[in-house]
Structure 1
């Protein structure tokens, strides 16, 4: 999720801690060309698909995140800064290019969305309140799935991923408000009863996704502009993590992550309406860019979802101009890990 500034959220009292989640710097797109860096691979031009949201008067911004396809092929998207009464979860019919709100409430600041392979419900991370909630697929029946402390500290849950059995893996962006490296990767059992820390001492972890084989987790650290890899299933259950990719982002910072069927990583950028694409060995394959003529007033490309079994990708892009979906052809086909949780 893109990080937000305190000033931007001055009118949104209910989202106090959201300053941590994607905050970073206010971007100057004049440096966009330099941000690609050496070895940026080819350029993929994304095309504007549709506008979903306007800047909310109550909060002074809009921020789209967490695109995820349901079993019927509809795309669900969250608006992180939507005020009470405005749609916080939108359902997009990509065939008809129509959208409607399916959920709102008076407190949640939802930064990601994923459907569980265990119970089929839609799970949302509420960054501000340290909770994970779930909804029926149609947006009804809200339930608190997890709330409380993990190893003595509440989470600021940002993004999430599910393993094949329906257990949750969450990027916990603790420490973003203070600049301290106290973030974590947390595992929550699918019944919501047990939670454990898999990695700590992280610098504002944001994106998180399994690799194509479900052998380990990729996660990004926003304030270090790096992607780390955590191998699961070692002798003690977890192998040590290591820095896998250092992202040459210039003024931009690492946001959410999606992975296609070939194992390629799509790394969202906060501070530039673009994504960096890497293979699993860390080679920069491509940069997905919003064309300059369409980029005015757009500050970040937070996330992406690739159609399951196909290559059409839908990227969430936001800024003072509003919240948009842009499309492009991905390098590999979509899977569960291709939904940007």
Structure 2
């Protein structure tokens, strides 16, 4: 997630409540068929179609920013609105069949930048970028708990995205240093009980997306200020055995945002500054670009994607001055835990 400036985020703790607007509007049709992206061939275009508008820019913060799409066990799609003020829904549940959305959670404090369900306890985990915390909720959005807070190796976090290993340990992209433009970012591992935090990589330029590869042998992560994707190879205990730059993204004015990985190991790289998503194979080949229809004025970022578990229908969160929208397209392979939130 590309955070807005610190000033509007800091205002989130004190602004008043607004009614939810835009939910359940502009329902769209089914996703188009995917192009046959062939490894080694030229990249294809995957055409996305609008599903619905979820939010409008908030009066208090001047913006809306959707992130963290993830499916619950009942097939409900859950997203977060990073810049929602106190009183407005910060976590939304979407009934895709009915084309409606409902508020699941709000509070007077958090600025949530990602969401994912834990395989350990089944709760929904959220990263609070502004306060450096990880918060968990019951699947219905209730029972909020602070899972982790405080400094890691003597420095506070700005947690952005997260991924879980099969045992339920968390791997967090710490985007520290973004506002200063300094390489202070990190990748942090937090054990599933929230008792021990370990820095796996540091010196990063605003770490953003993070996701395991298809077989949990390593982590992909993106750096917003360098437009690159790197790979951390891990051992069975979650310790780093090697690290290298894997893909250099030619984004132009756009920057690398969140990452998802499908069952074939393909990477879906979100973009801030362009309403599109790039798809790479695990060897760095550019397979496809997800593009919106030409009538998407006022939409500037395609932050993240959730691919239906066991299916290929993908849902993309897109935001800008026109509001927060959900788009759909056909992914190149089936969805797994690594393409479902974070």
Q: Please name the residue that 2:310 is paired with.
A: 309
Q: Please name the residue that 1:182 is paired with.
A: 184
For residues 5-24 of structure 1, the C-alpha deviation after alignment (integer angstroms, 9 at most, x for no partner) is 35765854669xxxxxxxxx
Q: Please name the residue that 2:332 is paired with.
A: 331
Question: Which TM-score applies when normalising by structure 1?
Answer: 0.90
Cα pair 1:46 1:289 within 8 Å, conserved? yes
Cα pair 2:312 2:334 within 8 Å, conserved? yes
2:293 is equivalent to residue 291 of structure 1: yes
Deviation at 1:54, TM superposition (A): 0.7
Deviation at 1:2, TM superposition (A): 1.9
Cα pair 2:176 2:206 within 8 Å, conserved? yes
For residues 60-114 of structure 1, the C-alpha deviation after alignment (integer angstroms, 9 at most, x for no partner) is 0000000000111110000000000000000001111111001000000000000
The 2-side partners of 1:104 and 1:264 are apart by: 34
1:212 to 186, 207, 214: 214
Q: Please name the residue that 1:125 is paired with.
A: 127
RMSD (CA atoms): 1.6
Q: Please name the residue that 1:264 is paired with.
A: 266
The 2-side partners of 1:7 and 1:267 are apart by: 27
1:171 to 154, 170, 173: 173
The 2-side partners of 1:235 and 1:158 are apart by: 23
For residues 142-185 of structure 1, the C-alpha deviation after alignment (integer angstroms, 9 at most, x for no partner) is 00000011100110000000000000000001111111101000
Deviation at 1:234, TM superposition (A): 7.6
Q: Please name the residue that 2:341 is paired with.
A: 340
2:262 is equivalent to residue 239 of structure 1: no
Tell me, what secondary structure is at the counterpart of 1:60?
coil
Q: Please name the residue that 1:24 is paired with.
A: none
Q: Please name the residue that 1:23 is paired with.
A: none
Cα pair 1:40 1:287 within 8 Å, conserved? no
Tell me, what secondary structure is at the counterpart of 1:149?
coil
Identify, as 1 or 2, the structure richer in helix.
Answer: 1
Cα pair 1:172 1:205 within 8 Å, conserved? yes
CA 1:194–1:6: 2 relative to 1, 3 Å: closer
The 2-side partners of 1:197 and 1:168 are apart by: 12
For residues 261-302 of structure 1, the C-alpha deviation after alignment (integer angstroms, 9 at most, x for no partner) is 000000000000000000000000000011111x20001000
The 2-side partners of 1:158 and 1:150 are apart by: 15
Q: Please name the residue that 1:90 is paired with.
A: 92
Cα pair 2:268 2:278 within 8 Å, conserved? yes
The 1-side partners of 2:73 and 2:120 are apart by: 13
Q: Please name the residue that 2:301 is paired with.
A: 300
Q: Please name the residue that 2:155 is paired with.
A: 153
For residues 224-272 of structure 1, the C-alpha deviation after alignment (integer angstroms, 9 at most, x for no partner) is 0000000000899311210000001000000000000000000000000
The 1-side partners of 2:231 and 2:122 are apart by: 27
The 1-side partners of 2:133 and 2:180 are apart by: 20
2:41 is equivalent to residue 46 of structure 1: no
Question: Which TM-score applies when normalising by structure 2?
Answer: 0.90
**Unaligned ranges ≥5, structure 1:** 16-38
